Amino acid sequence: MTHQPGTAFHRTSVAYFSMEIGLQSDIPTYSGGLGILAGDTIRAAADMKVPMVAVTLLPRKGYFHQSLDAEGNQIETPESWSVSDRLKPLTPRVAVVIEKREVKIRAWRYDVMGVTGGAVPVIYLDTDMAGNDKQDRELTQYLYGGDSRYRLCQEYVLGVGGVRMLRALGYDAIDRFHMNEGHAAFLVVELLDEEMGRTRARGIKPQHIQAVRNQCVFTTHTPVAAGHDKFGMDMVRKVIGKHKVWEVESRLSHDENTLNMTHLALNFSNYVNGVSKQHGKVSQAMFDSYQIDAITNGVHAATWVAQPFQKLLDRYIPGWRQDNLSLRYGLSIPPQEVWDAHMKCKTKFIDYVAKTQKVKLDPRVFTIGFGRRATAYKRADLILRDLDRLKKIASTAGAFQIIYAGKAHPQDFPGKGLIKKVFEATQELGKKVRMVYLPNYDIDVAKIMIPGVDVWLNTPQLPHEASGTSGMKAALNGVPSLSVLDGWWIEGCVENLTGWAIDGKARKGAKDTSAQDAAALYDKLQNVVLPMFYGDREQYIRIMLMALALNGSFFNTQRMVQEYLLKAYLR
Ligand SMILES: *Cc1c(COP(=O)(O)O)cnc(C)c1O
């Protein structure tokens, strides 16, 4: 097929499916990194006028609102938000069959506007309709709530209901269906049915499988085997019913008893990728009979650059929102102005902490930020392993304070334990190292917190971090990372230039490297980072500039969507 210059993008259209999409705090249909990546992807597609439509669920009670009591116990309450104030209702109705009941689905729309006038509609699927059984109305209430059956039903609504809704809305020329994680993989079942219908075939033939593969793109997001959705085949047959695809799938996956959503997506996609170079390799080793490429994640620059830096960039690099590559010219911004912009962000953040937490932090003191899901592998407690050493570093190398934020999944009890551990350490450290745990980490909190700290700390257990994106948001605001060498940081770290690596030099493949990593973290903080911050501010600001120019210009969703176009959408 030949493309006319300038028209190629318009002929290819992409349907982007994601269980969660995070666009703004008052549309709380996301839990964390995966959803925010989806939102940032859609924003970049809108900026670049990529003809895309996005499909997701409408969890009316969101993920959950987190508050914390005095001991650090997490208290979860439903998010309340007005769907009809934020989203536009659409008229088409479609249905899927679950446990032999017809479940009607309607949809709502939100248009994401790009910086150059492009737009990407986001379609939110909703089963909370009169006429549906009570339990089916509940299917679009909670994100990642309920049991395995609930999740199976949700994913079926997303995948099969989503394709049917797109057709009902008139999207009949979609060239690529992009599954953002395995949650959306049921869409291949509907595409297979479409192919079989087109050829009036009774059984699934190789040509049908090939036709579906030609349309599908799959991005996998976790290097942890337990992170991949699996459902018992008995439950699948009971809930969804018989389908010829189950036999094909068990033959391709060599497993008759479970439906693995990752395998379903792998078997029916002709382009598959992990989300960083390292994660691509790890995924390739996990699924060695498939070909797995890598496209490193990014963040949406115009969304994540704080106001003071937006002003600075507008002055020195006009057009940076349209062309993120030009952020590389950030190298020529006068260092003093970078520092001034940073101090505006820091002061604003410290005021926010004072107002919401009644804790007074000192803007002159080195401030470490740690904001991420509270779950075991992210190791929020790594820096708290030796509190005596921490106090000693503060009294000898220079004072510092640590700000935490992050939600634990309601069923993640070790994750909740981490939050409590931070609270206990906060008491123990007292005034020697001030710590604060901000409740309800969401897009708004992230936007004020990340640019407001002096270094962004990241300490996951290797090799569990597929990519990580908050360090990219930090870089865009001139905040260097101090991070374990995993995920994106393997690519983004130029030691002493864009930030610092924490390399515990543990035996390769060791399961728990916390002792070595903590020691390496303490050493770097004590011998490199703090002495530079307090003793050689000029050098510290140079690193801030490098983080912005080198990493900001690359680790953004504009570059990322361009890679998806080249490797996945336009092939
Ligand atoms: C960016 C972001 C995340 C993802 O951060 P990671 O670095 O991938 O852990 C999670 N939650 C919020 C609110 C964010 O803004």
Distance 32 CA to ligand 1 centre (A): 5
Q: What is the pLDDT of residues 118-176, one digit of tens each?
A: 999 999 999 999 999 999 999 999 999 899 999 999 999 999 999 999 999 999 999 99
Residues 226 and 310 in one domain: no
Identify whether residues 280 and 363 lie together within a single domain.
Answer: no
Asked if 14 and 7 count as a contact pair (C-beta separation under 8 A), the reply is: no
* 377 lies in the same domain as 254: no
| Ligand 1 atom at shortest distance from the alpha carbon of 447 | 15
Q: 376 and 330 in one domain?
A: yes
What DSSP character marks residue 555? S
Atom index in ligand 1 nearest the CA of residue 470 equals: 7
Contact partners, residue 90, CB within 8 Å, separation at least 6: 106, 107, 108, 109, 123, 169
Going by alpha carbons, the residue nearest to atom 9 of ligand 1 is: 372
Residue 254 confidence class, pLDDT cut points 50, 70, 90: confident
Indicate whether 117 pLDDT > 90: no
Ligand 1 atom 5 nearest Cα: 470
Q: How far is CA 297 from CA 37, 151, 262, 291, 336, in A?
A: 8, 26, 19, 19, 31
Nearest CA to ligand 1 atom 1: 470
Question: Are 313 and 183 members of one domain?
Answer: no
Same domain, yes or no: 342 and 203: no
Answer yes or no: pTM beyond 0.85.
yes
In a domain, 7, yes or no: no
CATH code, domain with 386: 3.40.50.2000
**Whole-angstrom distance, CA of residue 311 vs CA of residue 477:** 12
In a domain, 8, yes or no: no
In the 3-class helix/strand/coil scheme, how is 226-291 assigned residue by residue?
Answer: HHCCEEEHHHHHHHCCCCHHHHHHHHHHCCCCEEEHHHHHHHCCCEEEECCHHHHHHHHHHCCCCC
> Which whole-number Å values give the CA distances from 382 to 145, 425, 440, 456, in the listed order?
29, 12, 21, 14
Residues 431-459 have pLDDT tens digits of 999 999 999 999 999 999 999 999 999 99
Gap from CA of 488 to ligand 1 centroid (Å): 13
Q: For ligand 1, pick from 29, 470, 477, 551 the residue to mutate: most ligand atoms within 8 Å of CB.
A: 470
pLDDT in tens, 522-538: 999 999 999 999 999 99
Q: Is 117 helix (H, G, I), strand (E, B) or coil?
A: coil
CA pair distance 150, 154, nearest whole angstrom: 6
- Give kind and range of the element (H or E) at residue 187: helix 187-198
pLDDT at 3 over 50: no
Helix (H) or strand (E) holding 68: strand 65-68
Cis-peptide into 463, omega within 30 deg: yes
Residue 464 within a domain: yes
Q: How far is the CA of 215 from the centre of ligand 1 (A)?
A: 30
| Per-residue model confidence as pLDDT tens digits over 309-349 | 999 999 999 999 999 999 999 999 999 999 999 999 999 99
**Mean pLDDT across the stretch 464-488?**
97
Query: Is residue 9 one of the residues assigned to a domain?
Result: no
Pair (360, 436) in one structural domain: yes
The residue segments making up the domain with residue 418 are: 306-555
Ligand 1 atom at shortest distance from the alpha carbon of 443: 13
Cα dist. 249→256, 267, 382 in Å? 8, 8, 42
Sorted by sequence, the CB contacts under 8 Å of residue 430 that are 6+ apart come out as none
Q: Say yes or no: 154 and 87 in one domain.
A: yes
Which tokens go with 560? 């990322």
Contact 139 CB / ligand 1 (< 6 Å): no
- Digit-coded pLDDT (tens) for 33-75: 999 999 999 999 999 999 999 999 999 999 999 999 999 999 9
Whether 541 and 426 share a structural domain: yes
Angle at 208 (CA atoms; ends 200, 10), nearest 5 degrees? 105
The stretch 92-113 carries a mean pLDDT of 98
H-helix segments, 403-536:
413-429, 443-449, 470-476, 489-492, 514-524, 530-535
> Closest Cα to residue 180, out of 56, 96, 82, 84?
56
Lowest-confidence region among 161-170, 226-235, 260-269: 226-235
Domain count, the chain: 2
Are residue 331 and residue 284 in the same domain, yes or no?
no
Instruction: Give residue 12's pLDDT.
Output: 61
Q: How confident is the model at residue 11 (pLDDT cuts 50, 70, 90)?
A: low
CB distance 469 to ligand 1 below 6 Å: yes
Residue 18 within any structural domain of the chain: yes
5 assigned to some structural domain: no
Specify the pLDDT at position 227.
79
Q: Atom of ligand 1 at shortest distance to CA of 31?
A: 11
| 429: in domain | yes
- Residue among 20, 25, 93 nearest 54 (CA): 20
Q: Using CA atoms, how far apart are residues 282 and 277, in angstroms rounded to an integer?
A: 9
Q: Quick one: 293 and 436 in the same domain?
A: no
Rounded to the nearest angstrom, the distance between the alpha carbon of 37 and the centre of ligand 1 is 9
Residues 326 and 359 in one domain: yes
